Amino acid sequence: MIEIIPAIDIIDGKCVRLSQGDYARRSVYHDDPLDVAKSFAEAGIRRLHVVDLDGAKAQHIVNHKTLERIASHSGLSVDFGGGLKTDDDLRIAFECGADMVTGGSIAVKNPELFTSWLEKYGAGKIILGADVVDERIAVSGWTETTSLGLFPFIATYKEKGISSVICTDISRDGMLQGPAIDLYKKILSEQAELYLIASGGVASIQDILELEAASVPAVIVGKAFYEGRIKLSELKIFV
């Protein structure tokens, strides 16, 4: 059964969604992310993906107080990303209740530090973020596309012990045009044991069912919830 992981993206302490990572194309959906998190928990969801978009822009953790409220009062297991660049950022995230953290840009720009986190905390606590444009890795809040290929990037960290990867097709994120199923199939054909978390483009329950049919272990769903394309009551078949 595919795992459903709702996303809460935070700017100024509010629940927002961007289109293709563009901060100028944001929609504010709720003033209190904790209320949103509680609604997910009431629907039987067990895990939440929280992104500190202010932190991603500032290059250090910013919305840790919001993380702490969600982790302390929602009952959900939280994986947290956005602006985690130093050991201190990681310490703050875990102290504020994150069960797992996701590192993307840091894994590209400072692989020694990211690898040290993996060695210190273990694969159960550290998730690799692989944000892609045309199968190349993008960093710095998706403002910079590198020459690094997706598949060698994942393979390198798989050899170092990574077991979970969030792969986001940036061209689809927030666009409600369907997920990159062929890309995820290709990843799993090379890394069959990977706990691959699909992200970007999900617009309907049918999209989730197609990901499940492709043996994708988990999916992050954001805008489709907030725009009413997927109702929480429809997720009962997955929880």
| CA dist., res. 155 & res. 165, Å (int) | 11
**Contact in structure between 203 and 229 (CB atoms under 8 Å):** yes
Please give the structure tokens belonging to residue 10.
Answer: 């935070």
- Secondary structure of residue 163 in the 3-state scheme: coil
| CA dist., res. 150 & res. 146, Å (int) | 10
Please give the structure tokens belonging to residue 225.
Answer: 């919830």
User: Has 22 been annotated as catalytic?
Assistant: no
Question: Which residues make Cβ contacts (< 8 Å) with residue 133, sequence separation at least 6?
Answer: 142, 145, 170, 171
User: Has 131 been annotated as catalytic?
Assistant: yes
Amino acid at 163: S
Query: Which residue pairs, CB below 8 angstroms and at least 24 apart, start in 105-109?
Result: 105/129, 105/139, 105/140, 105/141, 107/153, 107/157, 108/137, 108/139, 108/146, 108/148, 108/153, 109/139
Q: Which of 54, 79, 89, 131 is catalytic?
A: 131
Q: Which residues are catalytic?
A: 9, 131
